[in-house]
Chains A and B, each alone.
Chain A
C-alpha cells in the first residue's frame, strides 16, 4: 500500500470543539496551513456529532459558521497510530491507506471517553454507554417508545436523558451514583453560572432523577430484559429495552503518552498556553482534564492563538479559562465515584471484554503489568481503553505507558513502515 504524505504548519488531532477552536484560531490570519485529522466520519467530536450538517445547538452553529470563513483541511476517518520521528505521525485512513502527517506544531485534542465499571450483565447486548447510546441515536438509531434506563454518574447522564426524550424515548429513570448532598452543592455552585444553571434545570424537568442510586445487575438471556437498581436499602427491578450506563469521563491520553508528553493525575500537563512538556506539542480540551464544552473551546482557542504567535490575545482568554476550570473542579469533585461501586463486580463478572477476563482472575495480581502478562487483560483490540479505567478504580492499578501502534491497524500499515525504514 502506498503512503500518502501530508504537510502542514499546524496539525490538530481531534475534530471536537477543542480541536476545531484551535484550528480556527491557528488558521484565522491565513498565514499557515492547518489540518485537522479525526477518526470519525465527520467533524464535531462527540458533543457536536452530526452538527456540522445539522446544527442543534447555537454554539455548534456559530463555530461551524466561523470555521467556514477560514481555510482548514479536514481529514476524517483517519486514526493516528504511530509517531515515526518527531513532527511526523502516521494515520490509517478509512480505505486502509496510510497517511504520513508532517507538521511544525501539533495540538492534541483527543477528547475523552466514558468510564465503564463492570457489574453482572454489563457485557450483554443493549447495555451501552450513556454517550454510547446517544452516539448511536445521532447515527440514525430510532428510539421512539423505547424504554431506557440511564445510569452511572455525571452531567452527561442528564444531557443524554434530554436528548433521548426529544427523540421519543421513554426514559424510565436516571440513576446517579453521587450523593444528593453533593449534587445539591453542585447545583448551588452553578448559581454564578446562569447558562449552565438553566441548562441543568431544563434537563432535570420531568425526569425521575435518583441520586445515591446505581445499577447492580443487568438481566436477560441473549439480550437485555431488565436492570436491578439499588438506592440505600431499597432494591428493585425495572424492565427496559436499553441500559445507557457510563460513570463520568476519562481523558484519552494514548497519543500524548506515545509522544512522551508529561501526563500526571490522569491528564496531560500543559503550561499557560496549553503547551505540553514537548515543545510545539499542545493539548486542549478533555485530554487536559474533564471540564465540558466551554473549557474545551477556550483551551482550544488559547492553543491556536499561541501557535499563531498571538500571545496577547491568548492571555485575554485566561480569566475565562480560569472560571471554567473552577467549574471543572466542582464537577469532578461532585461526580467522584463512591467506594461501594468497587463491590459491584462478582467473581465471574467479565472485566476485560476483549479477552473475557473475569474479576476473580484479576484480583490476585498486584499490578496492571502482572495482570496483563498472566491473563492478557487489556491486550485485546481496545488495548485497555475500556478495562484500564475500570481496573484503576477497582484495584488502584496504574495503567502503564502505551506502545505503538496505539490502535489496531492492518499489517500492511506497519509493513509499509518497516519496508521504508529498511530502504533508509
Chain B
C-alpha cells in the first residue's frame, strides 16, 4: 500500500500519493480554474515546471504559491482563486 496524503482543496478532501504536487491534487478534484487573470479570464497550469506562474493558488493562507512546485502535505488547505 503506497503512502498517501490527505489535503483540502476548496473545502473538498482529496487523497494523493505521497510526493504529489498540489497542482495535480487540484486537477484531480475536477477544478481546472486556478486563478483569474488581470482581465478576468480563468487560468490553469501551463508549463508544469514552475516557469509560467499560471498555477498560482493560496496554500494555508499564503497567496501566489506555485502549485506545480509545491508538494502535498497532510492537512494542507488549498484555495483556488478562480
| Chain A interface (Cβ < 8 Å from any Cβ of B) | 39-42, 46, 50, 53, 77, 79, 113-114, 116, 123-129, 131-137, 139-142, 222-224, 350, 353-356, 380-382, 385-386, 408
For residue B20, which residue of chain A has the nearest CB? A140
Cα A127 to Cα B41 with chains together (Å): 14
The tally of CB-CB contacts under 8 A between chains A and B is: 118
Contacts A126-B32, A142-B28, A386-B52; is A114 near B47 (CB within 8 Å)? yes
User: A132 touching B21 by the CB < 8 A rule?
Assistant: no
Contact of B47 among A132, A137, A141, A350 (CB under 8 A): A132
Chain B nearest CB from A29 CB (Å) reads 33
| Chain B interface (Cβ < 8 Å from any Cβ of A) | 16-17, 19-21, 23-25, 27-28, 32-34, 37-39, 41-54, 56, 68-72, 82
User: B47 touching A136 by the CB < 8 A rule?
Assistant: no
User: A386 touching B47 by the CB < 8 A rule?
Assistant: yes
User: B71 touching A125 by the CB < 8 A rule?
Assistant: no
Please name all residues of chain B whose beta carbon is closer than 8 Å to the beta carbon of A223 when the two chains form the complex: 32-33, 42, 44
User: B42 touching A139 by the CB < 8 A rule?
Assistant: no
Chain A nearest CB from B53 CB (Å) reads 4
21 intermolecular pairs with C-beta atoms under 8 Å apart: A41-B70, A41-B71, A53-B19, A114-B47, A123-B41, A125-B34, A126-B44, A128-B44, A128-B46, A129-B48, A131-B48, A132-B46, A136-B21, A136-B48, A140-B20, A222-B33, A350-B41, A353-B54, A356-B39, A382-B53, A386-B51
Please name all residues of chain A whose beta carbon is closer than 8 Å to the beta carbon of B16 when the two chains form the complex: 140
Sample of 15 more A-B contacts, CB < 8 Å, known A136-B27, A141-B23, A353-B54: A41-B69, A41-B70, A50-B19, A113-B47, A116-B46, A123-B37, A125-B43, A126-B44, A129-B48, A136-B21, A136-B45, A139-B23, A140-B16, A222-B32, A223-B32
User: B48 touching A134 by the CB < 8 A rule?
Assistant: yes
User: A139 touching B24 by the CB < 8 A rule?
Assistant: yes
Which of B32, B42, B43, B48 is the most central at the interface, judged by chain A CB atoms within 10 Å of its CB? B48
